[in-house]
């Protein structure tokens, strides 16, 4: 297949592009390097030393014998995405090209507005380009389990059967997003659903859980292909944060009581889920939803798992509870369905089998690159305004010319 990977320089996009290329698909990456600029803005860096995209692609072409095309541009620019669709003519397009951090969207008004404009506009441009130039293209959109929130009933896969006043219907599952970022994903889902119904487009919304791990078979081929490992308070995941804190010999900072429960999956399962969705496309006019995760853990569960993994490595790991900067229930019911991808052939990797290889060993290997000042929470979700970067200057999403040069791309 001809598959476009929008946001192919990012944490999920990069290993997905390599995996699809290795499987024999014709792959084209679209990226504007904004993700690297956000690191520069925040004064943080990934734990792993990632190379420029041009270097990464050159190494991949050499070690695999396969070529991945690159188009540099922004999906919020309709002329660019229109030209891309006409030139590449993809059978499927994978949409990772969004600002993906809830904390980033909660920094202040500017970052909230930027997140929603960037994410919603980019998706709308993509939908209009599909309608005009390639209506048979299958959109595979990365959504989030965060759209659902934490309801006190079971979470279905996208839709729920409702009986009300003697009538019965199947409706989109109620949304309870917990940040301006998650709200942007809800708006995306509504826009995609509408265009599938109105224009006959076909789309799969992958409501993904928290992803962990850096290694896939393709990434492991060369050190220069290594993926991101974000651990800072803005883009880092709780599991990455815990592993880095363990490698430093610092207590694991559990927000509140630690009962917050979410779905998780290995990055190797992410790339496989993407291919499964591409090989089993939605029908014309269909908007389908898959819940993309393999296991559920509470924050405290994860802390105990990392503590046990540290013990195996001879590291004494302590657990500390700190005030939760987020607006969320610290203890709640959580039972989400996730059977559709399994039925289509997904064979999950489990965290218990990969915690040391995928996370702890990476944290130990690169612990000299850890910046401890980037870990502790500084963004208060109850008062998102006038928050500062670690350099002391006001945060701004608008990069200067020197910022762009500093990214290396």
- From 11, 148, 181, 334, active-site residue: 181
Rounded CA gap, 236 and 230, in Å? 4
Please say whether the beta carbons of 306 and 233 come within 8 A: no
- Determine whether 216 is an active site residue: no
- From 11, 185, 231, 334, active-site residue: 185
- Determine whether 312 is an active site residue: no
- From 48, 144, 237, 270, active-site residue: 144
- Determine whether 66 is an active site residue: no
Beta bridge partners of 290: 206
Q: Could you tell me the CA-to-CA distances from 98 to 11, 27, 131, 193, 381 in Å, in that order? A: 12, 19, 21, 18, 21
**If DSSP states are collapsed to H, E and C, what string results for the chain?**
CEEEEECCCCCCHHHHHHHHHHCCCEEEEEECCHHHHHHHHHCCCCCCCCCCHHHHHHHHHHHHCCCCEEEECCCCCHHHHHHHHHHHCCCEEEECCCCCCHHHHCCCHHHHHHHHHHHHHHHHHHHHHHHHHCCCCEEEEEEEHHHCCCCCCCECCCEEEEEECCEEEEEECCCCCCCHHHHHHHHHHHHHHHHHHHHCCEEEEEEECEEECCCCCCHHHCHHHCCCCCCCCCCCCHHHHHHHHHHHCCCEEEECCCECEEEEEEHHHHHHHHHHHHHCCCCCCCEEEEEECCEEEEHHHHHHHHHHHHHHCCCCCCEEEECCCCCCCCECCCCECCCHHHHCCCCCCCHHHHHHHHHHHHHHHCHHHCCHHHCCCCCCCCCCCCCECCCCCECCCCCCHHHHHHCCC
| Residue 163: how many other CB atoms lie within 10 Å | 8
Which residues are tagged catalytic?
A: 144, 181, 185
């Amino acid at each position: 297949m001809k598959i476009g990977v929008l946001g192919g320089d990012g944490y999920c996009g990069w290993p997905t592009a390599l995996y699809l290329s290795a499987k024999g698909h014709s792959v084209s990456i679209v990226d504007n390097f904004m993700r690297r600029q956000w690191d520069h803005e925040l004064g943080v860096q990934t734990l792993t030393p990632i190379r420029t995209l041009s270097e990464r692609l050159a190494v991949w072409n050499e070690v695999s014998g396969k070529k991945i095309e690159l188009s540099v541009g922004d999906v919020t620019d309709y002329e660019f995405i229109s030209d891309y669709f006409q030139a590449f003519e993809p059978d499927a397009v994978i949409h990772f090209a969004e600002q993906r951090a809830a904390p980033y969207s909660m920094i202040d008004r500017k970052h909230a507005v930027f997140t929603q404009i960037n994410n919603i506009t980019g998706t709308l441009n993509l939908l209009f380009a599909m309608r005009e130039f390639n209506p048979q293209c299958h959109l595979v959109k990365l959504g989030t389990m965060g759209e659902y929130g934490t309801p006190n009933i079971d979470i279905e896969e996208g839709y729920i059967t409702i009986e009300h006043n003697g009538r019965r219907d199947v409706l989109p599952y109620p949304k309870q997003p917990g940040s301006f970022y998650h709200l942007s994903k809800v708006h995306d889902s509504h826009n995609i659903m509408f265009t599938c119904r109105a224009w006959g487009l076909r789309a799969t919304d992958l409501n993904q859980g928290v992803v962990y791990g850096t290694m896939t078979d393709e990434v492991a081929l060369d050190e220069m292909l290594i993926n991101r490992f974000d651990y800072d308070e803005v883009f880092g995941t709780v599991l990455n944060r815990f592993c880095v804190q363990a490698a430093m010999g610092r207590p694991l900072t559990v927000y509140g009581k630690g009962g917050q429960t979410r779905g998780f999956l290995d990055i190797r399962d992410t790339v496989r889920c993407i291919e499964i969705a591409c090989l089993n496309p939605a029908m014309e006019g269909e908007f389908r939803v898959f819940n993309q995760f393999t296991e559920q853990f509470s924050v405290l569960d994860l802390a105990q798992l990392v503590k046990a993994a540290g013990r195996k490595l001879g590291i004494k790991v302590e657990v500390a509870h700190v005030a939760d900067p987020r607006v969320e229930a610290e203890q709640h019911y959580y039972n989400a369905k996730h059977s559709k991808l399994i039925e289509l052939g997904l064979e999950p990797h489990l965290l218990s089998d990969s915690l040391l290889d995928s996370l702890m060993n990476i944290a130990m290997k690169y612990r000299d690159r850890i910046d401890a000042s980037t870990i502790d929470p500084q963004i208060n979700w109850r008062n998102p305004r006038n928050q500062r970067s670690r350099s002391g200057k006001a945060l701004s999403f608008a990069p200067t010319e020197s910022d762009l040069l500093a990214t290396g791309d």
